[in-house]
Amino acid sequence: MKLKPFIVLLALGFICATDAKQRPVTILGIGDSLTQRADSYLPALYDMLRNDGYNVELVGPHTGKSRFGEFRQAGFSGKNAEYIASRLKNIYSTYPADIVLLQSGHNHSYETKPVKGIIAAYKKMINTVLEINPQATIFVAQIVESGKMPKYAYIPELNKAIRTLIREIHDKRVIYVPVARGFNWQRHTVEDRVHPNVEGGIVMAKNWRRSIVKFMK
């Protein structure tokens, strides 16, 4: 018995829709050591999203671990936003994720007045991602406070500049994330007063999760 054309098309459409639902949403976390370290926000965020029932896959050139197994990320310890911007085209061409998590505000010194250069690097990174993949969504993080002074005394100024940048871009594909909400460096960093401890990573992950889940619903 021959199937009518519209039935065949309907069946194919159902198969395609099913495949689309099963395909994981790819996420590229890119930044400095706050992204790369084992106690960063990424392992906790990955676990939260999986526990929420989201089919996600973290991608990138480096390997991390969580209780769900290995995952990938693009954190560069000791590197600043300008360096990461210079590497992003190659990285994102290789890992063109659906979602990009961008957090890169450390590894400068207050004395060098770095905010202008960091914001220029952010603009370059956002443009690079959207040029390669216009369908991507970029979540841009607020930078968490640090007790390492005066080195990181520029962070409050930088956070204001990041918020201004996102407002000026005014693109629904570029979303500001208040990652530092509830984060206190005295409680949530390790001995160096910069990097999050396990609890600090969870605080950051919850803030990332809130924005991502809101977007994915």
In a domain, 65, yes or no: yes
Query: Tokens in use for 82?
Result: 């300008």
State how many domains the chain has.
Answer: 1
**Could you tell me which residues come within 8 angstroms of residue 27 by beta carbon, excluding any fewer than 6 positions away?**
56, 57, 58, 59, 97, 98, 99, 100, 101
In a domain, 14, yes or no: no
In a domain, 2, yes or no: no
Per-residue confidence at 69, pLDDT binned at 50, 70, 90?
A: low
In a domain, 12, yes or no: no
**What is the domain range of residue 61?**
24-216
In a domain, 201, yes or no: yes
In a domain, 194, yes or no: yes
pLDDT in tens, 114-143: 999 999 999 999 999 999 999 999 999 999
Residue 47 in contact with residue 59, Cβ under 8 Å?
Answer: no
In a domain, 151, yes or no: yes
CATH for 156: 3.40.50.1110
In a domain, 4, yes or no: no
pLDDT in tens, 169-207: 999 999 999 999 999 999 999 899 998 898 999 999 999
Q: Percent of the chain at pLDDT above 90?
A: 71
- CB burial string 201-215: b at 16+ within 10 A, e below: bbbbbbbbbebbeee
Q: Which amino acid belongs to residue 184? A: N
Give the residue-averaged pLDDT of 49-59. Answer: 93
